Amino acid sequence: MGLVDSLITKLTSCVLTCPLTSLFIAVVLGLVLYIMQKLKPKGRNPFNVNSVRPKEGLENDLKKRDAVLKQGFTSKKVPEDLDAIVVGSGIGGLSCAALLAKAGRKVLVLEQHDQAGGCCHTFIEKGFEFDVGIHYIGECANNTLTHTFVNQITEGQLEWAPVGDVIDKVELGTGKDRTTHLVTKGKDNFKAELKKSFPAPEDQKSIDQFFIDMGRVRRLYPQTFIFKIIPLWLSRFLLNTGIFNLFSDLPYFSNLSLADYLDSLTKNKRLQGAVAYSYGDYGTQPRESSAMMQLMLLAHYMHGGYYPVGGASEIAYNIIPVIEKAGGKVLVRAPVTEIVLDSSGKAIGVKVKKGGEEHFISAPMVISGAGVINTFEHMIKDQKSRPESLLKKVNSGHGAVSIFAGLDGTNEELKLENTNTWAMAEPDLDKGLDDFLNTPAEKVGTEDIPLLFISFPSTKDPTWDQRFPGKSNCTIVTLGNWKWFEEWEEGRVGKRGQDYDELKTRLAERAWEQACRFYPQIKDKRVYFDVGTPLTNKYYIGSPRGEIYGLDHNLNRFNLSTSAELRPTTSIDGLYLTGQDISTCGFAGGLYAGLLTAAVILNRNLMSDLVNCTKATRKLAAQRQKKN
């Protein structure tokens, strides 16, 4: 049941019981429906089933790929008569720019790194390719909304390969106390696996309830987007008066910590760990995160996980031509130092620092996908224009540490699997991460790391063996405390000193040693090894404290009042936001944030357009299947 249907149902009930209440709610309902009416389709629809064309195949020529992904900034390359400037080429910025381009807008995307894509980019070192943020994505097949969306902004050129039926392997505890739990494709299969691991009657009951709640949250979560579109005063009115609580359970799940939810579900710490293991995918431990986030996350993968064929850089590589078709550009090595406001306080363009000079680029609107904190604390110079009340409610998430290992031997030779492993040394997830993050810097890496994500990207990409014969790779990700590294913040990349190198090496080697316990066959096959710390993340993707998930996914952020403020529009005329900070982290979060921002700018109900396009796509697929 959608929000409007729910509103009408509740209103009908109120009419029968209390005429005064029904009159009051009718006024509110009228306001909501009026706002939604304003977003009825207007202008050009960027979603068209005919925009998907036959796949051309992978382009493996690095020079040709670089000509798309690494177009360096010069003032001469900036198109004239821009309709918009997007700051940041992560999936939020790219999806928003592509939708605007498909609606006929000329958009310039500016990226401070030397390659477009944000966390979707890859790098090649010593003959090995590594992705930095795309490990697996849900709902990217079978003409789902997300699959259709991605096809539309890539003209069908991006292909996805399914990971195995076992998506994640959860390893809880160490030594003899270690237990293994499988997260499998399909809700019923995953439920059956959990029940196999936890046969006690009380646990079986808890597992059933968990899946009921997962379904509830899946249906509730889209309601958060309404609060980001309707006027902020109306959002505050509906929330502060408690009226919205009459219609929806969304506030309950948003304000409920994951730890409290798990304790109400079961007292079995291992069962809690088996369903909350992937909190590392958003980087906030159960005590501080919202139950809604974890339930939504697992629901996202119930139809399987997928990986972009050809590697994560294929995402930006296939979106950029769509932006260019409308006369736009995606330029890199273009750090935006300021979003420029005129005397009336309207955003009129940006300043880009290049070669010791600042270049002013004008446009009638600026869209920032660089994150809320970056945008308002570093790019808006006029402090009076900053949303101080919002900035006090949010903060950066934990820093992330990534280890990249190149292996001598093929996936087959090393018997590697395309299943991800989540190694949780301490089944009590809060305690494990608290102890780790509170470790003094000089002792980091001397004891086991309680949270490790271990993945072999080479096993997920069916083109890997062709592109990198005789090789495979491994990526390990964990969280880290920014304070361990901040003393070297001003140091140059690669020249931060011996103490910094020793700290990051000690941490990386401990993570590697732990990974080899699960995959002993890779221990002596390592021929390339590097580690990215929170400082690395700050340098390459501009994250203020080395986080890769944007704003902390804590209860403050998921409180609906705060969530309503994390919206495309800002108090600055002509300035919009997009990206994971106005939605949730990850590929899907950033992707739909782009749609949300484009919908507001175009004043068009793009979600309705996407739904209609998805239906048309499914119908066309059914006709083709019938014909064959």
Report CA dihedral (571, 573, 579, 584) to the nearest 10 degrees: 30
* 181 bridge partner residues: 170
CA angle centred on 235, ends 342 and 564, rounded to 5°: 65
Q: Tell me the average pLDDT across 45-55.
A: 94
CB 172 within 8 A of CB 450: no
Q: Predicted confidence band at 177 (pLDDT cuts at 50, 70, 90)? A: very high
Helices (H), 155-200: 187-197
- How many Cα atoms occupy the beta-carbon half-sphere of 298 within 13 Å? 26
Predicted confidence (pLDDT) at residue 17 exceeds the cutoff of 80: no
Could you read off the pLDDT of 293-339 as tens digits, one per residue? 999 999 999 989 999 999 999 999 999 999 999 999 999 999 999 99
Q: Tell me the average pLDDT across 49-77.
A: 95
- pLDDT computed for residue 33 by the predictor: 56
> What own/partner pairs with CB < 8 Å and gap ≥ 24 does 437-441 have?
437/398, 437/479, 437/480, 437/481, 438/481, 439/481, 441/481, 441/483, 441/484, 441/503
Q: Predicted confidence band at 23 (pLDDT cuts at 50, 70, 90)? A: very low
CA angle centred on 540, ends 358 and 469, rounded to 5°: 130
Buried b (16+ CB within 10 A) or exposed e, 199-215: eeeebeebbeebbebbe
Q: Which helix (H) or strand (E) holds 28?
A: helix 19-38
Residue 326: phi, psi to the nearest 5?
-95, 10
Question: What is the sign of the dihedral through the CA atoms of 258, 259, 260 and 266?
Answer: positive
- pLDDT computed for residue 574 by the predictor: 98
Which residue, among 505, 461, 377, has the nearest Cα to 160 in the 3D structure? 461
Three-class SS state of 272? helix
- pLDDT computed for residue 10 by the predictor: 46
Residue 483 CA to residue 495 CA, distance in Å, equals 19
Q: Predicted confidence band at 15 (pLDDT cuts at 50, 70, 90)? A: very low
Q: Predicted confidence band at 624 (pLDDT cuts at 50, 70, 90)? A: confident
- pLDDT computed for residue 247 by the predictor: 85
Residue 330: phi, psi to the nearest 5?
-125, 110
Predicted confidence (pLDDT) at residue 185 exceeds the cutoff of 60: yes
Question: What is the sign of the dihedral through the CA atoms of 575, 581, 582 and 585?
Answer: positive
Q: Tell me the average pLDDT across 412-437.
A: 94
Contacts (Cβ under 8 Å, ≥6 apart) of 316: 69, 89, 94, 116, 117, 120, 121, 330
End-to-end CA separation in angstroms for the chain = 36
Q: Predicted confidence band at 1 (pLDDT cuts at 50, 70, 90)? A: very low
CA angle centred on 606, ends 605 and 608, rounded to 5°: 70
Q: Tell me the average pLDDT across 454-461.
A: 97
Instruction: Report strand pairing: 122-125 vs 357-362.
Output: unpaired
> What own/partner pairs with CB < 8 Å and gap ≥ 24 does 203-207 have?
203/266, 203/268, 203/271, 206/265, 206/266, 206/268, 206/271, 207/271
Q: Tell me the average pLDDT across 209-215.
A: 97
Reported pTM: 0.93
Q: Tell me the average pLDDT across 524-550.
A: 94
- pLDDT computed for residue 493 by the predictor: 85
Q: Which amino acid is at 191?
A: K
Residue 193 CA to residue 427 CA, distance in Å, equals 18
Residue 582 CA to residue 591 CA, distance in Å, equals 11
Distance set, CA 119 to CA 126, 436, 452, 494 (Å): 21, 25, 19, 21
> Across the chain, which distance is largest between two alpha carbons, in Å?
76
- pLDDT computed for residue 611 by the predictor: 96
Predicted confidence (pLDDT) at residue 37 exceeds the cutoff of 60: no
Q: Predicted confidence band at 105 (pLDDT cuts at 50, 70, 90)? A: very high
Residue 627 CA to residue 619 CA, distance in Å, equals 12
Both tokens of 55, joined, read 């796949």
Predicted confidence (pLDDT) at residue 527 exceeds the cutoff of 80: yes
Q: Which amino acid is at 345?
A: G
Residue 379 CA to residue 367 CA, distance in Å, equals 12
Residue 128 CA to residue 123 CA, distance in Å, equals 8
- pLDDT computed for residue 8 by the predictor: 42
The residue behind tokens 């050129």 is 157
Q: Tell me the average pLDDT across 593-604.
A: 96
Q: Which amino acid is at 218?
A: R
- pLDDT computed for residue 355 by the predictor: 86
Both tokens of 321, joined, read 């031509």
* 331 bridge partner residues: 110
* 452 bridge partner residues: 423
Both tokens of 159, joined, read 């292909």
Q: Predicted confidence band at 21 (pLDDT cuts at 50, 70, 90)? A: very low
Q: Tell me the average pLDDT across 258-262.
A: 97
| Cα-trace Rg, the chain | 24
Could you read off the pLDDT of 339-387 as tens digits, one per residue? 999 999 999 999 999 988 999 999 999 999 999 999 999 999 998 999 9
Q: Tell me the average pLDDT across 540-545.
A: 90
Both tokens of 490, joined, read 């001003």
Three-class SS state of 473? strand
Could you read off the pLDDT of 126-150 as tens digits, one per residue? 999 999 999 999 999 999 999 999 9
Instruction: Report strand pairing: 451-455 vs 471-480.
Output: antiparallel
Q: SS3 string of 216-231?
A: HHHHHCCHHHHHHHCC
Distance set, CA 342 to CA 171, 345, 348, 382, 574 (Å): 56, 5, 7, 11, 11
Domain assignments of the chain as residue spans, ordered by start: 62-158+309-393+566-626, 164-205+268-284+395-541
- The CATH architecture to which 62-158+309-393+566-626 belongs is 3-Layer(bba) Sandwich (3.50)
Both tokens of 559, joined, read 């409180």
